[in-house]
Structure 1
């Protein structure tokens, strides 16, 4: 009896850790996005992406050196390279969207990503989401749209940029899930960041050679360098948390918790831009949080009933 209880407690602990890591990461992500939006006011989106990835690498690599005992598995391999490519596509598309539309609108469109992830996880990971889990994702999406209420037609083809970012991001989450099966989260993120930074440096060099120069901050623009360092540091922290979350839990389980990003986005809109949440915004946030906590409760109940059964969705 003690052994069974101990096993259930350990599994529930792993589940809690995965979900908690994802929630913390989602609450931090909009902070980095806000810095990126600020930088697009002066720099090219490609330059912002390049500097963000370089700053992210600058923070991750010393951490990897200090915590080298946590580096398990191959850091440089085809699957990690694929993650780096998808990271480049997702970041470039989203930051380009920030340059032409409000950050809240871009994030609202990006929130189709959990739906992409839930759909892709079945054929690519064998994680079949049940109707309740799919329902929670859809409800969370509805809550996000209720908060943002974007005008999709106002920006024309630019609305495809967050959609492209969301699709690449969802694919990257699948890749991270596979890579994290034999590697630590720190190993995966360090490798993917190095690949992505090298790719962006090559893109920047190619643009310079072909005559399309990138706008760059001068050494005297302290605010821009601080913003670059901040967005890199936040990215480094959040993506390690995300990798650890996907190592501990199924992609379809974590998908609804990505809507927690809207909480920080709404708070930053109020603190920085003075946007007061109205009644529909409060209702939307409540729906988002409710869908996430519903999945959390369902997963905990399922693990208590069948600790050794593979979770296939309910």
Structure 2
């Protein structure tokens, strides 16, 4: 492998982790000024329009037939309405950005295990040990907050459950995209994903929220960042990585997101995690690594 190709293989995933981790921070900045489903619905409408315009300019191929439109729509609802909707709702009701990142970071473990029956991969004892360790790590992170009493405010149960819903939807969306989305044209397919997700999110917004947005400087900055950097840059990069790698391998990048988010939340918001929660981040990281990082093979000894 040449040096440029090595740099590309390392740089793409590293850039994805950096960009994806800022999504939790962008949500924290923008959610005081708009309710979660309204925020996300409007964001994805704008992102879908921008991508459709880009696809027209580039004369990109369109999805072929109803099946590809259906696959793109299902993946979009899971990856964007389900995953992002759960995370945004959780943060909006008081779950710290770092904690929400840890909960959904369990996705690579779940993907790796479910990929056995769905994608034909074989689970090992090491992977099962990683799954249990990852579950224990998440419990260490969120358990103290839920059970907290006194001056420390407990984590809202509804917010934690919303993050779990986001975890489940993101896992299902990743597996579905890997199985059915490789043949769907990237730019038009992503625009369809956003359009389908925005329909569901705006329906939820009109049913449960007042759909008011305060267009402050902070909100506009967060909105622009989330549309351009996350919805266009990071998500397109994610879909490219999924086409080039395995579902479990690409999902493994999520285990690097919580440490990055924790550092960003500390620098920007002064969020601190209890020592037990920090231990939980470490345990979760080790558990996920056991699942998704292949063991080193001993070099063959030449005769």
TM-score range (shorter-chain normalised) is: 0.7 to 0.9
Per the alignment, residue 150 of structure 2 pairs with none
Distance 1:190 1:61 in 2: 6
Give the conservation status (yes or no) of the 8 Å contact 1:18–1:249: no
Q: Give the corresponding residue for 1:44.
A: 35
Q: The residue matched to 1:246 in structure 2 has which SS?
A: helix
Match in the other structure for 1:90: 83
The question of whether the paired residues in 2 share the 8 Å contact of 1:55 and 1:228 is answered with no
- Using the TM superposition, give the Cα deviation of residue 162 of structure 1 relative to its aligned residue in structure 2, in angstroms: 0.5
C-alpha distance in 2 between matches for 1:286 and 1:156: 22
Query: How do 1:153-172 residues align onto structure 2 when only pairs under 5 Å count?
Result: 153=147, 154=154, 155-172=156-173
Q: State the partner residue of 1:312.
A: none
CA gap of 1:286–1:202, structure 2 versus 1, over 3 A, is closer
Structure 2 counterparts to residues 113-128 of structure 1, below 5 A: 113-128=107-122
**Structure 1 residues 273 and 150: CA distance shift in structure 2, 3 A:** farther
Deviations 1:136-162 (A, max 9, x none): 565566667777875234323432111
- Whether 1:110 and 2:104 are equivalent positions in the alignment is yes
Q: Which residue of 2 aligns with 1:222?
A: 217
Q: How does 1:134-149 map to 2 (within 5 A)?
A: 134-136=128-130
The answer as to whether partners of 2:97 and 2:262 remain within 8 angstroms in 1 is no
Residues 275 and 105 (structure 1), Cα distance of their counterparts in 2 relative to 1, 3 Å cut: closer
Shift of 1:163: 0.5
What is the Cα-based RMSD across aligned positions, in Å?
A: 3.8
What secondary structure is seen at the aligned counterpart in 2 of 1:40?
helix
Aligned to 1:81: 73
Equivalent-residue separation in structure 2 for 1:266 and 1:158 (angstroms) = 18
Q: For residues 286-313 of structure 1, what are the alpha-carbon distances to aligned partners after superposition, in whole Å with 9 as ceiling and x for unaligned?
A: 98389659955648x69x99xxxxxxxx
Runs of at least 5 residues in structure 2 that lack an aligned partner in the other structure:
148-153
TM-score (norm 2): 0.76
Q: Give the drift of 1:207.
A: 3.4
Using the TM superposition, give the Cα deviation of residue 174 of structure 1 relative to its aligned residue in structure 2, in angstroms: 1.0
Q: Is the 8 A contact 1:72 1:187 kept in 2?
A: yes
For 1:246 and 1:275, locate their aligned partners in 2 and report how far apart those are by CA, in whole Å: 32
* Cα displacement (A) at 1:34: 1.2
Query: Structure 1: where are the runs of 5+ without partners?
Result: 1-8, 306-314
- 1:35-74 alignment runs, 5 A limit: 35-69=26-60, 71=61, 73-74=63-64
1:175 deviates by 1.4
Q: Separation in 2 of the partners of 1:158 and 1:294?
A: 27
Question: How many pairs does the alignment contain?
Answer: 285
In the alignment, structure 1 residue 274 sits paired with structure 2 residue 270:
yes
Rounded Cα–Cα distance in structure 2 between residues aligned with 1:22 and 1:263: 15
Residue range with higher mean Cα deviation, 80-89 or 195-204: 195-204
Residue 207 in structure 1 maps to residue 207 in structure 2: yes
> Secondary structure at the residue paired with 1:270?
helix
Does the residue aligned with 1:105 lie in a helix, a strand or coil? helix
Q: 1:294 to 1:267 in 2, by over 3 A?
A: same
Partner in structure 1 of residue 236 of structure 2: 240
- Distance in 2, matches of 1:145 and 1:99, equals 21
Query: What is the alpha-carbon distance in structure 2 between the residues aligned to residue 290 and residue 252 of structure 1?
Result: 14
Shift of 1:250: 1.3
State which drifts further: 188-197 or 129-138: 129-138
The TM-score normalised by the length of structure 1 is 0.74
Question: How far did residue 95 of structure 1 move?
Answer: 0.7
Match of 2:151 in 1: none
Q: 1:138 to 1:237 in 2, by over 3 A?
A: farther
